[in-house]
């Protein structure tokens, strides 16, 4: 996830500082969700079980971190067009 984020970091030149900050925050919160799920599963858990735990953890949230970032980006695009 971190590598993909770094690979796409050039995208920040196309959005405002506020939007880019929200994207960074969404990345960090997503990593936090994955780490929480991993801690609940343990070291010997399969990837399938871990992914199920991640989805279970996300399902308890009122919204995902990426939902918030997308909202900010969409608002920004609407203002431009």
Domain boundaries, the chain: 2-80
5 pLDDT higher than 80:
no
pLDDT of residue 15: 80
Per-chain mean pLDDT for the chain: 86
Rg of the chain, C-alpha, whole Å: 15
How far is it, in rounded angstroms, from Cα 36 to Cα 54? 8
Q: What pLDDT shows up at residue 28?
A: 93
Q: What is the average pLDDT across 53-75? A: 92
Cβ contact 37:53 at 8 Å: yes
- Residue 38 pLDDT > 80, yes or no? yes
Please report how many Cα atoms fall inside a 13 Å half-sphere around the Cα of residue 75, on the Cβ side.
Answer: 11
> 49 versus 42: which is more confidently predicted?
49
pLDDT at 4 over 90: no
């Amino acid at each position: 996830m971190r590598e993909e984020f770094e690979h796409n970091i050039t995208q920040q030149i196309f959005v405002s500082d506020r939007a880019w900050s929200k994207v960074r925050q969404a990345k960090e919160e997503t990593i936090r969700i994955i780490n929480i799920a991993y801690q609940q599963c343990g070291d010997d858990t399969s990837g399938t079980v871990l992914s199920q735990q991640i989805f279970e953890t996300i399902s308890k949230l009122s919204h995902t971190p990426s939902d918030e970032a997308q909202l900010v980006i969409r608002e920004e695009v609407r203002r431009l067009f």
